Amino acid sequence: MPDVRAPDRRREQRRTVTEPGAETNREELAGTARFTEWRPATSDALAWEGPDDRHPADLLREALAEGPLGHPWDHRFPRYAWHRTGDVVHEFRLTGESPGHYTGYTLHPSEWPEGIA
């Protein structure tokens, strides 16, 4: 069997926390972002867990306004935003449908990016 190696990455690893530039208006990001419910293809995927009294769209806005963000940026929006409530971390990811449209899901602790733990 031939030696199989991953190709050299041309882009940054995903789930990397970065600081937004000074020109970034986080309140504007939070106000214009939209949440789309994630529908996993299999039942093996992690289910959404979180506070029952808060809608995921509220958590997304809070994550964009105050939480850690991840690159790359696309049309002024970060690809990733994270929200932590106790021992639960939600990852919000751009869907690619339209600028500012995110979907979200719960991460297993082994998937948390550095800087969240």
pLDDT in tens, 67-88: 999 988 888 899 999 999 888 8
Q: What percent of the chain has pLDDT over 70?
A: 78
Per-domain boundaries in the chain? 24-110
DSSP annotation string for 29-63: HHHH-EE-----SSTTSPPP-S-TTS-HHHHHHHH
- The structure tokens 């293809």 sit at 41
